Structure formats: structure tokens, C-alpha cells
Structure 1
């Protein structure tokens, strides 16, 4: 069996921790807990208090949050995943156009509507239902910050 390939998709955001929470719930991923690393860096004087925030009772790097696949390895000292990850980073400018890259969530035809409804309950919105017959049937949706993704 081949080793897991490490990768990280980076998404520009307005509220990184909130969007990480959404995508962790949407994909069944885990939000990375970097609090031990943050505490160690702060104790050593290598991280200023201004670079830290609190979210859901945990210290986080201000403006950053990541989610990782729960089956992939991670560094226990830093909380950083060593596999499939999505990093959310706050940027000052708003989203202004259609994404050039998007995620497809594969629910299968028997679970598509239930998955779409579950994602709506987490804050996603339906945009358009697409039915290409034998070529595929899916929903185009937007996450809470307006990033497009599909549910097939």
C-alpha cells in the first residue's frame, strides 16, 4: 500500500474558524487543534499575543484554521495533519467572482437530497440543480462564505 500523499488546499476566507467548522462538519473532517503548539511558541516568546485568538474555547492562530481527514496521520505536538487537509486563511479582500476550483461532495444518487439538506442545515445554500442525464446529476451549492461546491 502506498503512503498517504500529503496535500493542502488553501481557501481564502473572511472568517477562517467558522468556515473550518462548516467544512469539518460537511466532510466529516476534524478541525486541527494547534493549541499545544501555540502555547509552546508563546511560552518561548516566539509568538505574540496579537497572533492568537480563541474559537470554541481553544486557542487558534488568528486568521487561520485547518481541517484534516480523520483517518490521516497528524503531528501530535503541533496538531498539523500529514495527509489530506484544507487550510482556511483570512484575507482582506472579499470574494468577487466564481471559483476557479471547487470541491465535489459525492453522496450518491440515493443520498444526494439528504446530503444537500444536511449541508443547508450547516449554512450552505442551493444555487442550481444540474441534470445531464447519463453524464451526471448534481446540485451546485455555496458554503457560508459563498464558495461554490457541488453535491453529486
Structure 2
């Protein structure tokens, strides 16, 4: 049986970055509202460690997105499959990513995909043309993390 996984991404604004990546990947932003409310009610989580985002209480320094077809826990909202978890860190991004996401879209051309991602807040960095191996855009998400966009 394959393992569950999540990729952890350091972030200055985890909820905003989760919203970007959920829209970019057509994933779902996890809603841990029931769990957060229960933890606060039981005194296990201080109110100061929470925020209200999209109308429900959330962990202030964590936000996650999951693939919409993967199973998830209904109380914590945590996916049990493909996930990205954004955690708040105090330092800004300072060097090139050692790991990056390739966003593939078989329904849109490369230019259509890049334009769609720009409308969500991404920026184009460099168009790479490897001939028969493919063409893609190196892009940055709203916090400067590099990723590649690969269209049809």
C-alpha cells in the first residue's frame, strides 16, 4: 500500500499561500475548524494561536491543501493522501528552492496555464525550451517559491 504524504512549505502567510496553491492546483483548502474549536474549548490550544479564515477557526501558523479526490478526516480536515502543508516561519525566503512543484495541465496550452497562474498571483521568471523534451515556464508563487508550469 502506498504511503500518505505531505510536502511542508515554509511561509510568511500560510493561509494566503494555501489559498493560492489550492486555486492553482484545483485542490481543497483543509478546514480544521471543528478540531480547532474543540481544542480551544478544552483549553488545549490558546485562542491566541488561532485565526478565523474563510469563516472558521484555524491554526494561526498552519494551513494545508489536499487533493479533492483523496480521503480526509472530517474533524481535522486533514487529507489522507496528497497534501501541501504551509507553516509560518519568521525568516523570509532567501535562496532558490531545492525542491519544487511542476504544475501540469493537459487541458490548457502553456500560455493559457501561465496566464491563469498569473491571475492567481504567480509571476513568470523564465521560459525554458528544451525542444522535443518540452517547454515550460519557471514561475514564482506569491511568496517567491519557484515552480514550473507545463501546459498541453
When normalised by structure 2's length, the TM-score is 0.94
Count of residue pairs brought into register by the alignment: 150
What's the counterpart of residue 74 of structure 1? 72
Contact 1:30–1:70 (Cα < 8 Å) also in 2: yes
- Equivalent runs, 1:17-96 vs 2, <5 Å: 17-96=15-94
RMSD: 1.3
What displacement does 1:107 show? 1.9
Q: Which structure 2 residue ranges, 5 or more long, are not aligned?
A: none
Structure 2: distance between partners of 1:55 and 1:40? 16
What displacement does 1:4 show? 5.4
Closer, same or farther in 2 for the Cα pair 1:93/1:104, shift >3 Å? same
What displacement does 1:98 show? 0.5
What's the counterpart of residue 123 of structure 1? 121
Structure 1: distance between partners of 2:130 and 2:41? 57
When normalised by structure 1's length, the TM-score is 0.94
Secondary structure of the equivalent of 2:8?
Answer: strand
What displacement does 1:110 show? 5.2
* 1:95-140 C-alpha deviation (Å, 9 max, x unpaired): 0010000000112495211111000000000000000101221000
Closer, same or farther in 2 for the Cα pair 1:81/1:123, shift >3 Å? same
Q: Which structure 1 residue ranges, 5 or more long, are not aligned?
A: none
What's the counterpart of residue 143 of structure 1? 141
What displacement does 1:56 show? 2.4
Secondary structure of the equivalent of 1:93?
Answer: coil
Closer, same or farther in 2 for the Cα pair 1:18/1:110, shift >3 Å? closer
